[in-house]
Amino acid sequence: MTTERSEGDVMNATKLIPVLLAAALLSGCSLFGRGGGTAPAATKASGAPGVARYDGPESKTVSLVYTTKRELSLTFDGMADKDAMERLLNELDAYGIKATFFLPGMRVAEEPDIAKDILARGHEIENNTLSRLDAAKLTYAETYREIKLGGDVIARKTGAAPRYVRTMSGAITDDVRLAAAQSGLRAVVGSSLFLHNWKDETPLQKRNYIRKYINRGGVLELDTEENRTMEEDVKLIAEGAKRAGYGFVTLDRLVRDGGERKPLEQIPGWDAAKINSDYAEADYNVMSNKAGDAKKEVVLSFDDWGTDETVTPILDTLAKYGVKASFFLRADGVERNPNLARAIAEGGHDVGNHTYSHPVITSVTPEQLQEEIVKAHRIITEAIQAKPAMIFRPPTGEFDAETLKAVGATGYRDVAIFDVTPDDFVKTRTAAQIAQAVKAQTKSGSVVLLHMLDDIQTVHALPAIIGELRAEGFAFVRMSELMGAGAPKRTAS
CA gap 360, 351 in Å, rounded:
20
What's the pLDDT score for residue 136? 87
Would you kindly state where each structural domain of the chain is located, as residue ranges?
Answer: 60-257, 272-483
Mean pLDDT of 375-403: 96
Confidence of residue 483 (pLDDT cuts 50, 70, 90): confident
Mean pLDDT of the chain: 89
Confidence of residue 293 (pLDDT cuts 50, 70, 90): low
What's the pLDDT score for residue 12? 46
What's the pLDDT score for residue 123? 98
Q: Residue 308 corresponds to which amino acid?
A: D
Alpha-helical segments (H) within 53-173 = 82-95, 105-110, 112-120, 140-158
What is the 3-state secondary structure of 219-285? Answer: EEEEECCCCCCHHHHHHHHHHHHHHHCCEECCHHHHHHHCECCCCHHHCCCCCCCCCCCCCCCCCCE
What's the pLDDT score for residue 13? 43
Statement: residue 443 has pLDDT above 90: yes
- In CATH, which superfamily holds the domain spanning 272-483? Glycoside hydrolase/deacetylase (3.20.20.370)
Find the catalytic residue in 152, 233, 303, 308. Answer: 303
What's the pLDDT score for residue 171? 87
Statement: residue 491 has pLDDT above 80: no
Chain centroid, CA 404 distance in Å: 33
Confidence of residue 160 (pLDDT cuts 50, 70, 90): very high
- Check residues 119 and 22 and name the one with the higher pLDDT: 119
What's the pLDDT score for residue 377? 98
**pLDDT tens per residue, range 47-84:** 445 789 999 999 999 999 999 999 999 999 999 999 99
Find the catalytic residue in 349, 354, 377, 451. Answer: 451
DSSP state of 169: T
Statement: residue 265 has pLDDT above 90: yes
Of the listed ranges 34-43, 134-143, 169-178, 370-379, the least confidently predicted one is: 34-43
φ and ψ at residue 328, rounded to 5 degrees: -110, 110
What CATH number does the domain located at 60-257 have? 3.20.20.370
Is 350 among the catalytic positions? no
Closest CA to 127 of 71, 72, 183: 183
Statement: residue 147 has pLDDT above 70: yes
Please state, as a whole number, how many other Cβ atoms lie within 10 Å of the Cβ of residue 336: 15
What's the pLDDT score for residue 237? 98
